[in-house]
Structure 1
Amino acid sequence: MSFKSKLAAIAAGAMISASASIPAALAMDEITVAYFLEWPTANQVAQMKGTYDEEMGVKVNWRAFGNGNEMTQAMVSGDVQIAYSQGFVPFVVGVSTGAPLKLVGIAVTYAENDNCIVRDDAGITKDNAKELEGKKVATPIGNVTHYKLLKTLDHLGVDPNNVNLVQMNPPDGAVALARGDVVMACGFGGALTRMREYGKPLMTGAEQEAVGINTFDIITVTDEFATEHPDLVEKFLDVTEKANEAYKANPDEALPVIAQASGMDAQATKDMIANFGFPTAADQKSKNWMGGGVQEMTKGVADVMVAAGGMDEALDSYEQFVDPNYLP
């Protein structure tokens, strides 16, 4: 299935009428939080030790999902109140099609794991990036990677209309870069690792984050849960903040617990989490994040998806779906 077809399938699966409502809230003696296995995050120490239950005063059930769109559907049905580390694209699709969700925090960042690599023999860096104009660049079209590429080119003074963007999913982009068919390729995961064998990033992930070009997963809640139980949302984010800081202070102590929670062996957990970042609440509320950057990116990604045919239409604004006020 092509990337465009996958986006269309996601959009179809997430299509919810704007009038859809969540069943009446439970007495909130327990809640369900969606998360991913094989995705190690700092908060899983608090998950495993029952810290969330203790601090929130409710039983917290952790339910693993296969993808972010499934999380959206479970939240719309009322089965899940909080999604931890939900993917950004499923959130954009969900709220664009009527899902009553609210983004209340940034779960994890991984800018270094989603990037564009320039061939070493091209002689192109961020300092002379305009030389990309007139050349072929491989990228998946209509997703966060594509959006980040456009923002990066704009930041470096490159006119994207003068760059020959070629639709390629990351594995194909890696092959094209290796053969020299393209001067730069964009991707993520294992394909990005293979791309790095032939070149270097146009901008590092850290350099991108410094100017508000971010790659991240999010913490979302249902509108009803946030409205009726704002204290529980605040406590969830507070426990998460403390767990993140405890991990940063002593990662070696936390890693065995995180490995157990994520269903991975210790070395795989260590290798993966080393590429993750867990921004503080203060960082999340800053201009580059939920102080404006995330809202802008939500609209930008939605527009890119519409242009690529992966979504019927974007909303005029996504401001109402991003709320940093629950953060500690």
Structure 2
Amino acid sequence: MMAKRALSSQFVTVCVSALISFSAHAANLTVGYQTGIDPSKVPQADGVYEKTIGEKIDWRRFNSGPEVVTAIASGDVQIGNLGSSPLAAAASRNLPIVAFIVSAQINAAEALVVRDGSGINTPQDLVGKTIATPFVSTSHYSLLGALKHWGLDTSKVKVVNLQPAEIAAAWKRGDIDGAFVWSPALGEIRKTGKTLTDAAQVGQWGAPTFEVWVARKDYAEKHPEVVAKFAKVTLDAFADYASHKDSWTADSAPVQKIAKLTGANAADVPELLAGSAFPDAKAQQTTALLDGGTAKAIGETAKFLKEQGKVETVLPDYSPYVSAKFITE
């Protein structure tokens, strides 16, 4: 079953062929989203994207980035949210997509939590233990980065491929000793576990992670105004959060909407929001992000994935997979 979920090169090649041959059209837009906690969930809940774009949107929820990639490649989804690791894997296999917003710079929003009573108190205690994470996700990348930093051979730790909901269930059954994951699963397992490290710390060790909104290139070329409006609604949400952070409490309307849409506990949402950075329009267009830095970071991620045997090829330049042209201040 795990092999079935893996983002195999052969399958992605088939998906790339399907995407290239698929003709984008101006019909209803389908957007793939995940359960990550971010301010743009508020306009999603309020229907602001539909009102601004002027057409119906079919919002489809996915468990992980690789699932979003598969849906985009098949033509079922035109715009999707995924992390830097599945983005690097997809771009390395020449999937024609373009990242047009860095939707989150992940810090404490993803973490490695170990079970109380598992006997894991230090990184060395991970040897022989079972740790779950969704394969080829940002959490997987962070986990591998942490193991590398600690000098632990991945063959000495049993890393298993589970989706977030499966992680929460496996944790309750006692099937796993720890997990590197995001919320709402992260919030659940933290109740009976402790954090060994998080994405912020792993980023300081040389393996930063982030999330993006991507569009199929054919759709973006035919409907640039739709992508631009989607970007504006998202960035307006980021700006609103930045201006009113203190009022986004557990019982506030924005936090309640995020909790309802993602399945997270409202009490956890303010802390989870604080666990990521949401770059504004000006920051998006700098050399640190969409004007160079993001493409470079994708390349570094791809190199690491190649070392781990997750991708076969690293491209010389990832800039064709990133664009700031859809952002207007």
Could you state the TM-score of these two structures normalised by the residue count of structure 1? 0.70
Contact 1:147–1:301 (Cα < 8 Å) also in 2? no
1:52 aligns with 2:49: yes
* Residue 95 (str. 1) matches residue 91 (str. 2): yes
CA distance, structure 1, for counterparts of residue 46 and residue 110 of structure 2: 32
- 2:210 pairs, out of 216, 219, 222, with 216
- Count of equivalent residues: 280
Aligned partner letter, 1:265: N
**Cα distance in structure 1, aligned partners of 2:108 and 2:17:** 39
- Map residues 184-203 of structure 1 onto 2, 5 A cutoff: 196=195
Residue 226 (structure 1) aligned with residue 220 (structure 2): yes
Cα RMSD for the two superposed structures: 3.9
CA offset digits 1:266-309 (Å, max 9, x no partner): 22333433322211122222222222222112112212222222
Unmatched segments (≥5 aa) in structure 1: 123-134, 154-162, 172-185
Partner of 1:301: 301
Among 76, 81, 85, the alignment partner of 1:79 is 76
Partner-residue secondary structure (3-state), 2:305: helix
Contact 2:228 2:326 in 1 (8 A): yes
Match of 1:159 in 2: none
Q: Given that residues 88 and 298 in structure 2 are in contact (C-alpha distance below 8 angstroms), is that contact kept between their aligned partners in structure 1?
A: yes
1:27 aligns with 2:26: yes
User: What is the CA distance between 1:12 and its match in structure 2?
Assistant: 4.5
Structure 2 residue runs without a partner (length 5+): 114-121, 161-178
Computing the radius of gyration from Cα coordinates, the structure with the larger value is 1
Distance (Å, rounded) in 2 between the aligned partners of 1:207 and 1:289: 19
Q: Give the alignment partner of residue 108 of structure 2, picking from 87, 108, 112.
A: 112
**C-alpha distance in structure 2 between counterparts of 1:230 and 1:147, whole Å:** 37
SS of the residue corresponding to residue 29 of structure 2 reads strand
- Confirm or deny that 1:67 pairs with 2:61: no
Alignment map for 1:215-294 (pairs within 5 Å): 215-250=209-244, 251=248, 252-294=252-294
Which secondary structure state, in structure 1, belongs to the residue aligned with residue 240 of structure 2?
A: helix
User: How far does the alpha carbon of each residue in 1:208-249 deviate from its partner, in whole angstroms, 9 at most, with x for none?
Assistant: 58x996321110000011100111111100011111211233
Letter in 2 for 1:27: A
Secondary structure of 1:246's aligned partner = helix
Tell me the amino acid that sits aligned with residue 105 of structure 1: I
Work out the percentage of aligned pairs sharing the same amino acid.
23
- Alpha-carbon offset, residue 265 of structure 1: 3.4
- Residue 41 of structure 1 aligns with which residue? 38
Q: Which moved more, 1:188-197 or 1:70-79?
A: 188-197
Cα displacement (A) at 1:74 = 1.4
Query: What's the secondary structure of 1:93's corresponding residue?
Result: helix
- Check conservation: 2:83, 2:209, Cα contact below 8 A: no
Contact 1:136 1:164 survives alignment (8 Å): no
What SS does the aligned partner of 1:219 have? Answer: strand
Give the C-alpha shift of residue 259 in structure 1.
1.5
1:78 positional shift: 1.7
For residues 115 and 261 of structure 1, the distance between their equivalents in structure 2, rounded to whole angstroms, comes to: 21
